[in-house]
Chains A and B, each alone.
Chain A
Amino acid sequence: DVKVTQSSRYLVKRTGEKVFLECVQDMDHENMFWYRQDPGLGLRLIYFSYDVKMKEKGDIPEGYSVSREKKERFSLILESASTNQTSMYLCASSSPGGSSYEQYFGPGTRLTVT
């Protein structure tokens, strides 16, 4: 069965801390994505990666960075957390092309920055 896991369901961090959100998929997918979800705004793409060590900025990359050292793992990094980064973060993966534009999602991490 397809599976995307995220390291934490809930996380509370202080302003200025460095925060790591981890995502792992077991489907051998090339593409991986990080979104943030806020009420009324839907899902907004932060970064995505279409291969190991490759990354591209999404719609709202400011304040975030990513790392993809292995195919199955995609990390989102908040270099210096701020209160406006309090949000739900969702990771997804897919294979390129055709019906595989379908994305598979993890359960999400609800991050609170105080």
Chain B
Amino acid sequence: AQSVTQLDSQVPVFEEAPVELRCNYSSSVSVYLFWYVQYPNQGLQLLLKYLSGSTLVKGINGFEAEFNKSQTSFHLRKPSVHISDTAEYFCAGSSNTGKLIFGQGTTLQVKP
């Protein structure tokens, strides 16, 4: 079955510390992968996407993610977080029908 799994439901971190949000996908998911961010009371906004080419993908707001085919992972990282990064983050992979399969979401809580 196609699935995307986010391994942490909540990640608390102090401001200016590095963070990693983990995402694994099933091998049956097509290898188009996305990270979206949702700020409180808003819709989802694309952070970055992997389609092909370089396995290190850079996105907005200083985020990056690394596609690892052997580990079927697409972890999101930021070297130094800000209070304004507090939000919910969703990993998603595409199916071959054009639909996206979403993970359960990870709440990033940045503390001062």
Give the contact stretch, choosing among B37-45, B60-68, B76-84.
B37-45
- Name the interface size band of chain B: 20 to 34
Q: A42-B104, A42-B105, A102-B34 are contacts. A94–B98 as well, Cβ < 8 Å?
A: yes
- B103 is contacted by which of A42, A94, A103 (Cβ under 8 Å)? A42
B34 contact set on A, CB distance < 8 A: 102
Q: DSSP majority for the B interface?
A: strand
B98 touches A40 (CB 8 A): no
CB distance from A64 to the nearest CB of B (A): 16
Q: A40-B9, A42-B104, A42-B105 are contacts. A96–B98 as well, Cβ < 8 Å?
A: yes
A4 touches B46 (CB 8 A): no
B42 contact set on A, CB distance < 8 A: 107-108
A11 at the interface (CB under 8 A from B): no
Interface residues of B in 54-112 (CB under 8 A from A): 90, 94, 98-100, 102-105
Interface residues of A (CB under 8 A from B): 4, 9, 31, 33, 40-43, 45, 48, 50, 58, 90, 92, 94, 96-99, 101-108, 110
Interface residues of B (CB under 8 A from A): 6, 9, 32, 34, 36, 41-46, 49, 51, 90, 94, 98-100, 102-105
